[in-house]
Amino acid sequence: MSGGGSPGRRAPGTAFLFLAPFFAIYAVFLVYPLFKGFWISLHDWELAGGYREYIGFLNYQDLWTDKLFWRTIRNTLLFVAMTVPTMTLLALMLALAVHGTGRLKAILRSVFFMSSVFSVTVVTLVWSMVLSADQGLLVPLWNALGIKPVNFLAHPLLAMPSIALATLWWGVGLPMALFLAALGQVPQELYEAAELDHASRWSVLRRITLPSIRHTLLLVVVLQIIGQFQIFGQAQLMTQGGPANRTRTLVQYIYDTGFRDWQVGYASAMAMALFLLMFGFSMLQLWLGRKGDDA
């Protein structure tokens, strides 16, 4: 180091050199596609062939009046509302239940995490079989109760909750693991002090555990928002967007528009809308989470 310079004041060139690989990847795979996507959304742009015509914000105007677009937005928001809070809560409850020592807890930790390693095709296949009205796992139950078997995935009101259920089962492992790691960081002495302070279990959870893991809680919620807004595979494989577009999600619509109908320009405009939506909700969440942090 040159004489007298503090570590924070070294030549800026060195710092940029170390950051360059990251910036290169960030620029090529994130910044460029984002602007390219926006650029494409300003065109009537076909997937194959060379037809590209600059049309300004016409795609966005079309979006405004596209009933199916709003429908898929509504469906996606509904799905997010169904999954994000439930997933977070469920993961937290599971983590609290299986946190700690003991063979049974160790086994259960693995069991609850295991579903996360399956691919979406396996998960949707399993749940389609469980929920099937013909030979589904639940059919004997309905028969025993004397109820006509319900076809969940074809039911206008139950199809979306069914997809949400499969998603919860599939995705709960990772947030649970994050919560487990956070719970492991809480000093044991705090719980001992709370025990001597006569704190009830509820009081311990509310005043000690939750404040101690709030940054992880925030992380889980943001990750869930980003993840669940992009719901595609489950809806595509379990209901194909049916019945009557009630489970058609935004990404599905983007996929169909771009790769089935070749309207890449219009699909890109929708993708931009999705990006803004996710960005907005994540920022809102981060802002709400930061509010409690005093300096």
DSSP 8-state code for residue 186:
S
Q: What is the DSSP string of 282-295?
A: HHHHHHHHHHT---
**From candidates 61, 119, 121, 203, binder to other proteins by CB under 8 A:** 203
Residues in the chain: 295
**From candidates 197, 215, 260, 280, binder to other proteins by CB under 8 A:** 197
**From candidates 119, 121, 143, 200, binder to other proteins by CB under 8 A:** 200
DSSP 8-state code for residue 257:
I
Is there binding between residue 199 and other proteins (CB under 8 A)? Answer: yes
State in angstroms the smallest separation of the CB of 204 from other proteins: 10
**From candidates 150, 190, 226, 237, binder to other proteins by CB under 8 A:** 190
State in angstroms the smallest separation of the CB of 98 from other proteins: 23
Q: What is the DSSP string of 42-75?
A: TEEEBSSSS-EEE-TTHHHHHHHH-HHHHHHHHH
Site track 255-294 with other proteins (rule: CB under 8 A), x = hit:
---------------------------------------x
- Closer residue to other proteins (CB): 53 or 197: 197
Is there binding between residue 184 and other proteins (CB under 8 A)? Answer: no
Whether residue 156 is preceded by a cis peptide bond, meaning omega within 30 degrees of 0, is no
| Paired strand residues for 22 | none
Is there binding between residue 185 and other proteins (CB under 8 A)? Answer: no
DSSP 8-state code for residue 4:
T
- Closer residue to other proteins (CB): 119 or 203: 203
Q: Any residues with CB less than 8 A from the CB of 45 and at least 6 apart, and which?
A: 51, 52, 53, 263, 264, 265, 268
Report the SS3 class of residue 205: helix
- Closer residue to other proteins (CB): 86 or 212: 212
- Closer residue to other proteins (CB): 18 or 202: 202
Is there binding between residue 192 and other proteins (CB under 8 A)? Answer: yes
- Closer residue to other proteins (CB): 131 or 208: 208
Is there binding between residue 208 and other proteins (CB under 8 A)? Answer: yes
**From candidates 28, 93, 143, 195, binder to other proteins by CB under 8 A:** 195
Q: Cα dihedral angle (211, 215, 80, 110), rounded to 10 degrees?
A: -90
Q: How many CA atoms lie within 13 A of 263 on its CB side?
A: 13
Q: Cα dihedral angle (172, 178, 183, 187), rounded to 10 degrees?
A: 180
Name which of residues 209 to 248 contact other proteins (CB under 8 A).
211-212
State in angstroms the smallest separation of the CB of 192 from other proteins: 5
Residues that bind other proteins (CB under 8 A): 187, 189-190, 192-200, 203, 207-208, 211-212, 294
